[in-house]
Amino acid sequence: MRKNKTRNQNLDVEKAKSSLNKIYQIFQDISFNADEINKSRCPYKNAKSRCTAKFDCKNQYFTNDEELAVCTGSDKLDYRSAWEI
């Protein structure tokens, strides 16, 4: 019986499991941090601090040369009250 090997003789199953567990832990930490940030950061604010919302918000600041408004909201505040629904 071959221990820790599959049909592919070059694969160490235990090493592969260990690597996958490390990757899983990294993505779990990333996911947790993203969830925490999303509790205070507006989901319509993109990485360039531009507003992608399709509705009016008091934190939108439009400039002449940009299609998307600049988001002037703070990431430390509850943004939901700013929405005009």
Question: Per-residue pLDDT tens for 1-19?
Answer: 455 544 667 888 899 999 9
Single pTM value for the model: 0.48
What is the domain partition of the chain in residue ranges?
1-39, 42-85
What backbone phi and psi angles, to 5 degrees, belong to 5? -130, 150
What's the confidence (pLDDT) of residue 79? 63
CA distance 20 to 17: 5
What's the confidence (pLDDT) of residue 2? 53
User: Tell me: the pLDDT tens digits for 38-61?
Assistant: 677 788 888 898 999 899 888 899
Provide the CB-side half-sphere exposure for 39 (13 A, CA).
5
What's the confidence (pLDDT) of residue 78? 66
